[in-house]
Amino acid sequence: MSWQTTKPGLIPSLDVSVERLSNLLSGIDEIRVQNRNPIHALKVGALLELEGLKTIISKIREYSNLPIIIDHQKLADIPSIIKKYVEKIASIGVDGAILLGYVGPTSITTFVESCQEQELASYIVAEMSHDGASTYIKEESPIKIAKLARDLKATGIVCPATRTESIQRCAEVLKGSLLGIMSPGHGPQGGGADSAVMAGADWIVVGRSFYNSQNPQETLIKLGKLIIDKWKIKNSEE
């Protein structure tokens, strides 16, 4: 089984400055091994990427060999730009990327196929986690995005922990496939990792409750145990 299909999992989000990486990543691989913690990958967002992606990847690699997923929303562009972007990030050493699904099927298809060509994991955002995110989006859009991601054999989709009903609907679409659901919005945004896993999420993205914690490593250990316990309960009920 490749890292892309390993479930359940925890994805720490590194939305911080370069200076804070050392504190957050110190001992993270040891936590994963010694505590059998399900840390799946590390997510690098646009804020950190602006400080120089190549430098960031090198810095992270000083502390961890975990897969790195790039979350840069400007990747949501026209197909020709998406293809070039995927080729570029692959050459830098990124292991996966996230695309906003609202760009439509042509760009999504180019993204997934380009990632497959470069042997990168591909994730499509079906719905975002913050208040107002769905104001201008049709109710059926997340389902359509999930179906397209499934048909293209993407690695997974992104559904928010703040909207468990969306997770449930998309999980039903993905049933029987290898695709997983990445779920942000845990903690300060109001979503719960436990309820997200019970609704069908496979990978929990943890941001502020991780990097603003007084003990980030302990936070990962506790949250890892929680999602494993909920995952076991969820799968025993099916």
Q: What are the pLDDT digits (tens) for 33-56?
A: 877 778 999 998 766 765 677 888
Which of 40-44, 61-65, 72-76 is predicted least confidently? Answer: 72-76
Instruction: Report which DSSP code applies to 144.
Output: H
**Mean pLDDT value across residues 169-183:** 96
Q: How far apart are CA 220 and CA 131, in angstroms?
A: 26
Q: How far apart are CA 27 and CA 73, in angstroms?
A: 29
Total count of domains within the chain? 1
Q: How far apart are CA 103 and CA 109, in angstroms?
A: 10
Parent domain of 205 = 3-237
Would you call 74 a catalytic residue per the annotation?
yes
pLDDT of residue 45: 74
Q: How far apart are CA 232 and CA 230, in angstroms?
A: 5
Q: How far apart are CA 65 and CA 233, in angstroms?
A: 30
Residue 114 predicted with pLDDT over 80: yes
**Mean pLDDT value across residues 14-31:** 87
Residue 74 predicted with pLDDT over 60: no
* Residue position matching structure tokens 């804070």: 20
Neighbour count for residue 187 (Cβ, 10 Å):
21
Q: What are the strands of the beta sheet with 180-183, ordered from one edge? A: 9-12, 203-206, 180-183, 156-158, 121-125, 96-100, 68-71, 42-45
**Mean pLDDT value across residues 225-234:** 92
Sign of CA dihedral 8, 85, 74, 19: positive
Could you tell me which residue, 14 or 34, shows the higher pLDDT?
Answer: 14
**Catalytic residue among 43, 54, 59, 74, which?**
74
Record the pTM. 0.86
CB within 8 Å of 21: residues ≥ 6 apart: 14, 56, 59, 60, 63
Which of 36-40, 73-77, 111-115 is predicted least confidently? Answer: 73-77
pLDDT of residue 218: 93
Q: How far apart are CA 114 and CA 120, in angstroms?
A: 8
Identity (one letter) of the amino acid at 41?
A: A
Residue 199 predicted with pLDDT over 90: yes
Residue 5 predicted with pLDDT over 90: no
The token pair at 9 is 């999992």
Residue 1 predicted with pLDDT over 60: no
Which of 110-119, 150-159, 229-238 is predicted least confidently? Answer: 229-238
Residue 130 predicted with pLDDT over 90: no
CATH of the domain at 64: 3.20.20.70
